[in-house]
Amino acid sequence: MADGQSENRAHKPAFATLARFLPYLWAKDMPDLKWRIALAIMIMLIGKAITLVVPFFYRDAIDALQNDSAPAIMIGVYLIGAYGLARFGSTTFNYLRDAVYVRVGQRSVRGIALDVFKHLHRLSLRFHLERRTGGLTRAIERGTKSIDTMLYFMVFNIVPTFIELTAIGIIFGIEFGWELVLITVTCVLGYITYTAIVTEWRTKLRKQMVDQDSKASSRAIDSLLNYETVKYFGNEGHEIRQYNRALKRYEDAASKSDASLALVNIGQGFFTSFCLAGCMALIAWRMTSQGYTVGDVVLVNTMLIQMFTPLNLLGWVYREIKQGLVDMDFMFGLMDQPPEISDKPGAPDLQIDKGAICFDAVRFSYEENRLILPNLSFDIPGGKTLAVVGHSGAGKSTLSRILFRFYDISGGAVTIDGQDVRDVTQASLRQNIGIVPQDTVLFNDTIAYNIGYGRTGAGQEDIEAAAKQAQIHDFIIGLPDGYETVVGERGLKLSGGEKQRVAIASTILKNPPLLILDKATSALDTRTERDIQAALNHVAESRTTLIIAHRLSTVVDADDIIVLSKGEILERGKHEDLLMLGGVYAEMWHQQQDAAAGRIPEAAE
């Protein structure tokens, strides 16, 4: 699923999305969150009750102050004090409610973010190769951050506002008659309807703005991740122009979205002003006929202002909730994306005895119209080393992906000690296989962390021992920060050879019974390659090893060598036997020897 999913996926109804989220909010195994929710709602209701009482203190104070007598003035002063205390109480309860509720929202965000993260790691390699990291992470970030905001406004803005509207309607009906209720209800319904209609239109503009924001972010991240490529081709100007165009599209969309806010505010101002003027005029008109006072006018004005204050945010709240639902829907869409590779129900762990690997009539293709392995069969006896060589596109690296079960084959079987890799758990399969890849990408952390990643929890002594076997210990201790040196994004602060030796050290630390060396020394110079090759040969002595190589000098000691071309075996045998055969292997060997002697350039893989 690419980041364009947010545009193409039909959104589920809002209640369905909320129903998916409720278990994170009302978790069965978290009673502390439940009492926090209940307490926050209770505090909210108390605070709202105090808010409704405040205008009455204000009215009585105004009426008392109109009397010139000292007792009346004193009563007015006391009422003003009560008014101030009531307002303070209302504010205090609001903040207290937020303090009680805050952990509920954060715990819910953590729960759903963790589940999305887990699921992303369960999705197939195909998904991660097709995704746009920048757009995906930005959308997930928006989704997780919007959850807390959305829930807060639904529980503590919309619901309390409608409670207050109902209470004010009842108060107006009892105190001032049905006419005042009619004016208030008509204006509020008009206000809400207008806000909803205009906000729906603005939501489309905002969606365009968010899409352009994601595209601009993806453009920037892709460019920075490919920093070296940009520099190689001197295309900094091109990247800046591309990013500027993306920002320009975002600027246009954001300007339209922000400018449309004026239309919302103008309409809302009309309904608010009409309601205030109409209700106050009605009370003023009846002051003589029905005995209303100046305090009553103030009461109506205060209650309506208190009511419209949260309503002024209705458009923004409505949009945030809708956008939050869209972002949540996107995240749930990711969680609904079925893993291409999954364990069978009740699958056992892989049990390693001798570590024999067998590819039996394996058929595989990345795409239906592009067959990579038509019918490949070979075996690696336990504890032996098999090397696979061939030109680029022969299907060599595909073997490691199949063995790790990043993809499932369409025909045949791949077994380890007679156990089909599709019948055992992926975790146990990958725990028993170590790989040193050609393209080593490191975490933006310390060298010690990257080596220790092979066996999390390993001590410093074990990390250093693995580094010594990988011939990188002396280099590390020569750095100012030693093993605490941060390697940078994707390990860009290290050379290709240094990164590859870190990967070798990590695999040595993992100490797996099965080993894959996928062009493990391709980034090393000839002298360093010989040193590393000796270490790799030592590591592979007691392991079943699959070597995928371009440089034939690295496979001369292999127990068996396969020459692969278009997914088929052309030749097979030991190094000396293949040279005597005088076929493709011998030709590749002589070409590389001539290249090493400087007679001809070495052919690229």
Contact 56, 296 (CB under 8 A): no
One-letter identity of residue 206: R
At residue 151's C-alpha, the angle toward residues 146 and 153, to 5°, is 95
Helices (H), 226-355: 227-233, 236-259, 261-285, 294-311, 314-336
What are the tokens at 345? Answer: 């129900």
More confident residue, 75 or 473: 473
378 φ, ψ to 5°? -165, 165
* Four-CA torsion 171, 172, 174, 179, nearest 10 degrees: -160
- Please choose, from the candidates 211, 220, 212, 214, the residue with its C-alpha nearest in 3D space to the C-alpha of residue 242: 220
Name, of 105-114, 152-161, 570-579, the range with top average pLDDT.
Answer: 570-579
Looking from the CA of 74 toward its CB, the CA atoms found within 13 Å total 3
> Are the beta carbons of 421 and 597 closer than 8 angstroms?
no
Compute the distance between CA of residue 60 and CA of residue 448 in angstroms, rounded to an integer: 73
Quick one: pLDDT at residue 135? 58
Given this model, what pLDDT does residue 78 score? 77
Burial of residue 499 (CB within 10 Å: 0-12, 13-18, 19+) is: buried
Helix (H, G, I), strand (E, B) or coil at 131: coil
Q: Following CA atoms 586, 590, 593, 595 in sequence, which dihedral angle do they give, to the nearest 10 degrees? A: -130
Q: Average of pLDDT values for 78-100?
A: 81
Answer whether 546's CB lies under 8 Å from 403's CB.
Answer: yes
What is the CB neighbour count within 10 angstroms for residue 160?
A: 19
DSSP one-letter code for 601: P
User: Is the whole-model pTM more than 0.75?
Assistant: no
Name the band, by pLDDT with cuts 50, 70 and 90, for residue 597: low
Which SS3 state, helix, strand or coil, does residue 190 take? helix
Tokens 């039996």, located at residue: 360
Residue 580 burial by CB count (10 A; 0-12/13-18/19+): exposed, middle or buried? exposed
Bridge partner residues of 365 (DSSP):
371
Are the beta carbons of 212 and 249 closer than 8 angstroms? yes
CA 306, CA 58: separation in Å to the nearest integer?
13
CATH of domain 15-336: 1.20.1560.10
Higher pLDDT among residues 324 and 176, named by residue: 176
Helices 496-510, 526-540: inter-axial angle, 10-degree rounding: 10
Confidence at 7, pLDDT banded by 50, 70, 90: very low
State the Cα–Cα distance between residues 395 and 403, nearest whole angstrom: 13
Q: Say if CB 73 and CB 95 are below 8 A apart.
A: no
CA atoms within 13 A on the CB side of 87: 12
Confidence of residue 381 (pLDDT cuts 50, 70, 90): very high
- 437-511: CATH topology is Rossmann fold (3.40.50)
Element (H, E) at 142: helix 133-153
Q: How confident is the model at residue 380 (pLDDT cuts 50, 70, 90)?
A: very high
What is the structure's pLDDT at 130? Answer: 64
Domain residue limits, the chain: 15-336, 437-511
- pLDDT score, position 156: 75
Residue 465 has pLDDT above 60, yes or no: yes
DSSP 442: B
**Both tokens assigned to 578:** 């293949």
Q: Where are the alpha helices (DSSP H) in 312-413?
A: 314-336, 396-403
Interhelix angle 178-225/314-336, nearest 10 degrees:
50
Overall average pLDDT of the 6-18 stretch = 53
Percent of the chain surpassing pLDDT 90: 14
C-beta separation of 396 from 389 below 8 A: yes
The number of residues making up the chain comes to: 605
